[in-house]
Each structure stands twice: as C-alpha cells, then as structure tokens.
Structure 1
C-alpha cells in the first residue's frame, strides 16, 4: 500500500469520528508530530504504532489498512424510509433511523449526512406533535382562552397536515437519495451536527 493511501484513510476516518490530531495523539499515546507525519505521508506506521492508532480510532489495525467506505445508496434509501415507522408510533421515526445510522456510521458513504438529516427532522417533527399536545392539555385543564379555536376540526387538520408533510418529505428525499443527491429536509432544527 502506498503511504498516501493510508494517510488519506487515516485523515478521513479521523475526521468522520470528529477527532482532532491532538485528540487522536492523546487517545493512541503517540506524539502529535508522528500523527502529523503519517497524515502527510512522510512515514508509514508499522507494528505497535499502527495498532495504537487503530485503538485510538476504535477500529482494528486491519480495518484501518483495508478501511473503505462502501457506497450503498440502497441502504441510504432504507435509512431514510425507515422514518416512516413514525406512522406506528411517533418516537419510532427517531429511534429506528438513529439505530440504523449509528450501526453503519463508519461503513457506508454519506450515511452520516443522511442519518443526521433524517433524525434531526424526525426529532423536530416529534417536538411539534408534543407541543401541540401540550397546548391542548393546557387549554383543557386551565381553560385558557386562546385566539385560535381548538375545535376537533382544527386539531384534526393540524395532525393531518403534520403527517402528510412528514410522509411527503420522506418520499421526496428517498427519491433524491436514489438519484445520488443530498436530502433536503425543511423545518428541521439541527440538534445533531
């Protein structure tokens, strides 16, 4: 293997994990200068150094040497459409994509981007649902007069609109992902960055 291939893999894996060079140096017990030289392709780690770097990254040395991100658009589409589980129970729309994202975070190309988008949107959507329930609860319990009349028709319309918006955005983004484009979720709060 060329020095540059390992250097590029090390840089990409370190960045995907969100580690700085300093943090990796601390975690692996190797000097910062050595990490910098390896990433510049000036030297190639062998034996103990390679094992310590791999341990610092939380992978095996074999995975570091042979590490590749699999391009799997089918998995990305499945990850995105798994959010439809909110139809059974709203929090499932967060949990199932979250588990799928975390399980393949370091193995599939663009899974980090898609996972964050889907989970952020689903958390935001659940928050809207929760806030509306809270508003209804406060209105009923405390009999607070609100300018918006909360009659059954308004409540039903609000929920129907939220559910249609969620399903529409999931389908739309599944099509975008299948065409190798990035997902675009509107009205999402970036809880996960």
Structure 2
C-alpha cells in the first residue's frame, strides 16, 4: 500500500479532517493534500510527525516509502507541481494584508501569520520570505509602541520639571511610523517581484 493511501485511511479511521490532521502534525493543509494525492514524498521527520498524530508507528506508515530529496520521483513531483506565479501571489497577498495596520495597528501581524499558515505553500523560499515580512511587522509594532511611550515620557518630564515649555505632539511619531511602514511593505513587494524561484520544497 502506498504512503498516500496509508495516511488517508489512518486519518479517516481516526475521524479527522485534513485540516485537523494538519494542526496535529503542525504542517499545512496543502502538505496533507499533496501527500494523500501522492504528489509529494515527505521527509522522514514529516512521516514521524504524521505517525504520532495518527497514533501509528513510523515503520508501519513509512514502509520503505521514505526517499531522499534528490530521488527522481521527488524531483519529478516538484517539477510538475511547482508554479512560481502561485508562490509570488501568496506572498503578495500576505504583504498586502500587512496594510491592515491602518485599521488594527500593533496586532495586525496576526493576519499575515494566519495567511501563511493556511497558504498551503511548502516552498522553502516562500516560507522564508513570508517570515521576513512578518518579522518586519512585529519589529514595526514594537518600535511604534516604544516611540509613543518615549513621547509620553518626554512630555511628562517636560511638564513636571520644565513647566511644559514644549510638549511633543503624539501625532508626529504616530504618522511617521505609519508612513515608514507603508514604505517597508512596498519594499517587500518589490523584493518579491524580483525574486527568482527554484522548486525547493520543505515538506
């Protein structure tokens, strides 16, 4: 029996959906779908994670199905299913979702994290670039909060010790950081457009 059939049968036997199995195994839904369709041969680590989530043994699930990433079968699957335009589209949507900071600042990075988790992409470059975009948004939220606190501290000290000779308006750091983040997101979009893709997957 093929690995794809074993995973599908074991999942249905436990009454799990593909989404539930993906959450238990800490992989994407797309990864589960590709494995069950026989479009991808996962690494040993992924098989071990699936075996644990399905409550079965690694040996029973693998049964000589594990292959090196350099094997002809894996290469053929990657070449047939890899689409650079789809990967760029995923990253562009993720980048554009970062503009949610205009409505929900400081926690807006949760949206691109959610999109990455449910994107279904297993391409290493896509995942790495998405993580860079998300990290930049987290850094922005931290710096934004720090500048507002710094402004508060400056105004407090100025009011208490210098009789409020000059108070800094909170809108200055606020709008400065907002404009800066727009440039950060646009820079990420330009980087994505200029990225050269190769079919390297991390299943």
Q: Report if the CA contact (8 A) 2:113-2:134 is conserved.
A: yes
Runs of 5+ unmatched residues, structure 1: 42-67, 183-193
Give RMSD over aligned pairs. 4.1
Partner of residue 51, structure 2: 25
Partner of residue 167, structure 1: 182
Shift of 1:133: 2.5
| Among candidates 134, 152, 168, match of residue 152 of structure 1 | 168
**TM-score with structure 1 length normalisation?**
0.55
1:29-44 correspondence to structure 2 within 5 Å: 29-34=55-60, 35=62, 37-40=64-67
| Among candidates 21, 27, 40, match of residue 9 of structure 1 | 40
Shift of 1:77: 1.1
Q: Matched residue of 2:105: which SS?
A: coil
After superposition, what is the alpha-carbon deviation per residue over 1:93-150, rounded to whole angstroms, capped at 9, x for unaligned? 313322322221x2474543333222221111111112222333445557687xxx98
**TM-score with structure 2 length normalisation?**
0.53
Q: Report if the CA contact (8 A) 1:83-1:93 is conserved.
A: yes
Considering Cα pairs closer than 8 Å and 6+ residues apart, tell me whether 1 or 2 has the greater RCO: 2
Partner of residue 75, structure 2: none
- CA–CA distance in 2 between the matches of 1:150 and 1:20? 60
Partner of residue 117, structure 2: 102
CA gap of 1:171–1:78, structure 2 versus 1, over 3 A, is same
1:73-88 correspondence to structure 2 within 5 Å: 73-88=88-103
- CA–CA distance in 1 between the matches of 2:39 and 2:168? 58
Q: Report if the CA contact (8 A) 1:138-1:144 is conserved.
A: no
Partner of residue 108, structure 2: 93
Shift of 1:39: 0.9
- CA–CA distance in 2 between the matches of 1:180 and 1:22? 33
Say how many residue pairs are matched.
Answer: 146
